[in-house]
Structure formats: structure tokens, C-alpha cells
Amino acid sequence: MRVSAIALKVTRYSDSQSILTAFSRERGRLAFAIPAGRGRESSRIRALTMPLGMVECETDLRPGRDVLPMRQVRPLKVNADIHSNPLKQMTAMFVAEVLSATLQAGETDERTFDFVAAAAGYLDKAGPRETANFPICFLYRWGELLGVEPDVSTYNIGGMLDMRDGRWRMTAPLHGQCLSPRASEAAAMLSRMTFENMGAFRFRRGERAEITDAILQYYSIHIAPLGNLKTLPVLRSML
């Protein structure tokens, strides 16, 4: 069977083999065995399967097989700047880690695949300000795709975003998991951010960090724990 896949992470399994975690259009999240040697073909496959790399390959889908073979690997789309620009490369690693934590095994969703593929294309073409804002834009739009985005229709000036139910309230909830009025206003503003206009938003480094932390906290409540992402401190130091 031929599948289209977006690379998420590679884990070394042995001296000769690594395990690639990827999200496929046809079967959702999958694990592939790829060579870990120093030969030409091994190097080629490693280059193609860097975070957010998009490939096509042949594989055998059999019941009970957790790790699949990966044959006849070729690029589905080449986003060269992601893997040559250090900031974009780190951003791709961050996005891939978020996807690894929030995509469940066995989920098949062509819309999700197309969203991630399109996002990678925007990152590849992004200028400096677009690249700096990309993690925020991706995180917000990812929540929208998963159906957990805040209900911005409930926003009023001075309101506070209740992180548990995703609604703005004029008084703080008793559970205490809410944003300040200033941060809540910024959260409402993010509903207008798209990959096309993300460069128009001007944030200072500290503001980007605060916004990113708030979104990850929101996701940790609604989807999966995201408080210990290994790529976040490195990305934050570069933005």
C-alpha cells in the first residue's frame, strides 16, 4: 500500500534501525522502521524525514504489526527552507512535538493531514516576523481544528477567559483557571490571526512567550498534558 506521511519524530532503536513516528493521510498516526546507518540511502531517508518532512512510501499494513516497513521513499513536497533555516527548523520540531502529543493512534482524518501540510508550506515561505508568530498561529488554529478553541462570541471588554469551559466571563470562576483581563483580550484577538496575516501582529518576545504558555495550558486542560515540551525552551530562546 502506498501512503502519504508527515514526519513527526525519529527515535533510535538500534545501531542499524530507527523508528519514525509519522501522520499519514490514509491511516492516521503510524510508526515506520527506517535505516540508521551511514550509507547513502540511510542519509537520504533521514533528510526526507526531518520534522514536518512530507514523503510517500510503500508499506505493508497487517493486523497486529506496530512498526511498519518503509520502502520506495520519495518526497511528497520539498520545503527546503524549513530544514536550512535554524529558526524554522526549531519551529518545525516544536510543532512536530505538539502533534506527537495530541494526535492519537489510529485516527484517520484527511482534513488534519491537509492542515498540517499547508501549515508546513506557510512556515517554509514565511519571513522573519511570520516565522516568529508561526507557533502562536499554529497552536490557535490547531485547537480550532480539534474543536476546542475558545468561544470568542462570549468575549466582552474586561472579561476573563475561563480556561476550563473556553468562555469569557465578567467575574473570575471559583476554580481559578482563568486569564487576566489583559491576557483574555489578547486571546480574543488571536481569533483574527491566520497564516496569511500572522506577520501583521506585533508581539514582543515576552508577549509571545506568555501567549504560547497560555495556549499550552489551555490544551493541557482540554486535550493532553503539554507542560514539558522539550523543544519549547530552545524555541523560546530563539524567538
pLDDT of residue 106: 57
Q: Are 89 and 82 in contact (CB under 8 A)?
A: yes
Q: What is the mean pLDDT of residues 191-208?
A: 93
Q: What is the mean pLDDT of residues 107-129?
A: 91
Structure-block grid coordinates of residue 80 = 527546503
pLDDT in tens, 32-42: 999 887 778 88
pLDDT in tens, 211-238: 999 999 999 999 888 878 999 999 988 8
58 φ, ψ (degrees, to nearest 5)? -95, 140
Alpha helices in 30-127 (DSSP H): 40-48, 80-84, 86-102, 110-125
Contacts of 117 (CB under 8 A, 6+ apart): 6, 54, 77
pLDDT of residue 159: 92
pLDDT of residue 132: 95
Contacts of 205 (CB under 8 A, 6+ apart): 239
Q: What is the mean pLDDT of residues 71-76?
A: 91
- Per DSSP, 157 falls in state T
135 backbone φψ class: left, alpha, beta (φ>0; ψ -120 to 50) = alpha
Burial of 173 (0-12, 13-18, 19+ CB in 10 A): middle
pLDDT in tens, 79-113: 999 989 999 999 999 999 999 988 876 566 789 99
In terms of residues, how long is the chain? Answer: 239
User: Rounded to an integer, what distance in angstroms lies between the CA atom of residue 74 and that of residue 189?
Assistant: 40
199 φ, ψ (degrees, to nearest 5)? -70, -15
pLDDT in tens, 181-192: 989 998 999 999
Distances (CA, A) of 94 to 5, 135, 149, 184: 18, 8, 20, 24
Whole-structure pTM over 0.75, yes or no? Answer: yes
pLDDT of residue 146: 85
Question: 13 or 152, which is more confident?
Answer: 152
Strands (E) across 37-174 are located at: 54-58, 68-69, 71-77, 160-162, 167-169
Q: What is the mean pLDDT of residues 142-153?
A: 90
Residue 117 has pLDDT above 90, yes or no: yes
